[in-house]
Amino acid sequence: MESEIKTRGFAIDVSRDKLTVVKAELVITQEKREVEVNEVREFKYDNEGIEELIKFLGEYKEGIMESTGPYFFYLH
């Protein structure tokens, strides 16, 4: 029997006007490692959009964030 490790996570690309978010699972077996993308969405970069983002992430608690410029300070 092959052992398998699955972990869920998200990635956020922060730009001036929008947040692009990916929810995915990392699947590791003895044979391979792969990322299975579950869903991709964009949100406006304002308070309402961030509230929608939080609801969208749900049980996804670990993630990474990337920005071009200082835009991440507001989200952080």
Range of the domain at 35: 5-61
Is 22 within a domain?
yes
Flag whether the pTM goes above 0.75: yes
13-56 pLDDT tens trace: 998 899 999 999 988 888 888 888 999 999 999 999 999 999 99
pLDDT band of 10, cuts 50, 70, 90: very high
Is 32 within a domain?
yes
Distances (CA, A) of 56 to 24, 49, 51, 74: 13, 10, 9, 19
| CB proximity list for 8: less than 8 A, separation 6 or greater | 23, 24, 25, 26, 59, 60, 62
Tell me if 49 sits within 8 A of 56, measured CB to CB. no
How many domains, in total, are found in the chain? Answer: 1
Is 68 within a domain?
no
